[in-house]
């Protein structure tokens, strides 16, 4: 599979802060705020904007720049991996093994309300690797096989998530709730089925739209974690161990098509190949800011060495349509 977006329009718009805007965080924030309308035009067209040269070395400084770019900051609603809360609705990157690639994915595509905009700030780049991978969700709708896009357009996708005591991220940490009653209320609002089992185990199920129209442009976007969370995306040896222990329906995370049918190994390979073939790597320098349209653009990460320190923010929540009728 080959990328279809021409080089001139692939990847983020790149800007350099002028020297006058690099003297302080306040000067940088003022420069960005004065150009926010233009930056949003670029974001709508290309899906991402990369700004070089911000004087940002601490999370508090990133918050000041975030406020110049994102109107309504929000906190993650449901995390699939551990991340450090840095205060002021800033967070570390998802805890993901440095030696592994993270396939591009959209923040919280499994929720009914999702952040429209993300901001990634680089405090310290990796020694080697660690590029962010951007894949355009509009492009994926053109390059994925028609039988996959049509099935998911018609039926949406299903996600199951099983939490067990002392195994992976807890449901308390994932949802930021204190007790079972609070989780039940949260899931009821989100249209998530809850099954409490013995031994502290809880299984959550939901169905979501897999193809959504961008709220600003109306373009169709491939917006889901159907491939990312599927059992066939796991390391083969890890999958064998987990399936033997819990079965496919008891895996920590798994997905199906919205009609209830499974995804085959070939389905997942095609989805992953489409992301990989159309991914644009973004190399980082200290002080870089990457503004991402979360609906138009999926983001992932290449493996890296060294200490890579990133600060992430999100905001401007948008309610997505529910899953297609039926199933």
Q: What percent of the chain has pLDDT over 90?
A: 94
Task: Tell me, yes or no, whether 279 lies in a domain.
Answer: no
146 vs 301: CA distance, rounded Å = 27
231 vs 217: CA distance, rounded Å = 33
User: Do 87 and 159 lie in a common domain?
Assistant: no
User: Do 157 and 261 lie in a common domain?
Assistant: yes
Please write the tens of the pLDDT for every residue from 12-56: 999 999 999 999 999 999 999 999 999 999 999 999 999 999 999
Task: Tell me, yes or no, whether 83 lies in a domain.
Answer: yes
User: Do 99 and 216 lie in a common domain?
Assistant: no
- Provide mean pLDDT across the span 155-177: 96
Task: Tell me, yes or no, whether 177 lies in a domain.
Answer: yes
Task: Tell me, yes or no, whether 152 lies in a domain.
Answer: yes
- The pLDDT value recorded for residue 8 is 43
pLDDT over threshold 60, residue 137: yes
- The pLDDT value recorded for residue 102 is 97
- Provide mean pLDDT across the span 107-132: 98
- The pLDDT value recorded for residue 10 is 72
Task: Tell me, yes or no, whether 236 lies in a domain.
Answer: yes
Please write the tens of the pLDDT for every residue from 173-205: 999 999 999 999 999 999 999 999 999 999 999
Task: Tell me, yes or no, whether 278 lies in a domain.
Answer: no
Find where tokens 């994925």 sit: 144
Angle between helices 25-34 and 59-69 (to 10 degrees): 20
Cβ contact 102:300 at 8 Å: yes
User: Do 31 and 117 lie in a common domain?
Assistant: yes
* Residue 211 pLDDT class (50, 70, 90 cuts): very high
Whole domain around residue 166: which residue ranges? Answer: 140-271
- Provide mean pLDDT across the span 257-262: 97
User: Do 217 and 309 lie in a common domain?
Assistant: no
Task: Tell me, yes or no, whether 219 lies in a domain.
Answer: yes
Q: How many domains does the chain have?
A: 2
User: Do 102 and 193 lie in a common domain?
Assistant: no
- The pLDDT value recorded for residue 9 is 56
User: Do 144 and 73 lie in a common domain?
Assistant: no
- Provide mean pLDDT across the span 75-80: 94
Q: Are strands 297-301 and 102-105 parallel, antiparallel or unpaired?
A: antiparallel
Q: Are strands 48-52 and 13-16 parallel, antiparallel or unpaired?
A: parallel
pLDDT over threshold 50, residue 4: no
User: E strand or H helix at 61, and its extent?
Assistant: helix 59-69
Three-state DSSP state, 123:
strand
User: Do 148 and 92 lie in a common domain?
Assistant: no
User: Do 258 and 151 lie in a common domain?
Assistant: yes
- Provide mean pLDDT across the span 164-168: 91
Task: Tell me, yes or no, whether 17 lies in a domain.
Answer: yes
Cβ contact 80:174 at 8 Å: yes
* Closest by Cα among 176, 181, 215 to 196: 181
User: Do 180 and 77 lie in a common domain?
Assistant: no
170 vs 33: CA distance, rounded Å = 38
69 vs 124: CA distance, rounded Å = 21
pLDDT over threshold 90, residue 1: no
User: Do 255 and 187 lie in a common domain?
Assistant: yes
Q: Find the CATH number of the domain harbouring 51.
A: 3.60.130.10
pTM: 0.95
pLDDT over threshold 50, residue 116: yes
Q: How many other CB atoms sit within 10 Å of the CB of residue 237? A: 8
User: Do 33 and 110 lie in a common domain?
Assistant: yes
């Amino acid at each position: 599979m080959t990328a279809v977006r021409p080089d001139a329009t692939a990847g983020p718009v790149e800007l350099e802060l002028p020297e006058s805007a690099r003297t302080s965080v306040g000067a940088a924030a003022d420069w960005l705020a004065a150009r926010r309308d233009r930056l949003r035009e670029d974001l709508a067209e290309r899906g991402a904007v990369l700004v070089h040269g911000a004087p940002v070395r601490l999370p508090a400084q990133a918050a000041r720049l975030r406020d110049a770019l994102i109107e309504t900051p929000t906190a993650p609603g449901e995390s699939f991996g551990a991340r450090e809360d840095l205060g002021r609705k800033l967070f570390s990157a998802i805890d993901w093994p440095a030696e592994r690639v993270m396939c591009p994915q959209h923040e919280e595509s499994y929720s009914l309300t999702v952040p429209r905009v993300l901001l990634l700030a680089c405090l310290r780049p990796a020694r080697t690797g660690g590029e962010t991978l951007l894949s355009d969700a509009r492009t994926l709708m053109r390059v994925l096989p028609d039988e996959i896009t049509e099935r998911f357009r018609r039926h949406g996708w299903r996600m199951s998530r099983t939490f067990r005591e002392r195994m992976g991220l807890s449901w308390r940490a994932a949802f930021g709730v204190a007790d079972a009653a609070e989780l039940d209320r949260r899931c009821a609002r989100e249209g998530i089925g809850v099954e409490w089992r013995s031994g502290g185990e809880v299984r959550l199920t939901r169905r979501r739209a897999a193809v959504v129209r961008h709220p600003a442009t109306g373009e169709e976007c491939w917006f889901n974690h159907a491939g990312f969370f599927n059992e066939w995306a796991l390391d083969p040896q890890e999958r064998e161990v987990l399936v033997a222990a819990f079965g496919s329906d008891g895996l920590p995370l798994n997905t199906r098509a919205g009609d209830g049918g499974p995804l085959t190994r070939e389905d997942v390979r095609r989805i992953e190949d489409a992301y990989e073939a159309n991914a644009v790597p973004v190399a980082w320098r200290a002080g870089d800011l990457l503004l991402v349209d979360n609906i138009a653009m999926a983001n992932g990460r290449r493996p890296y060495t060294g200490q890579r320190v990133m600060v992430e923010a999100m905001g401007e929540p948008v309610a997505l349509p529910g899953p297609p009728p039926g199933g």
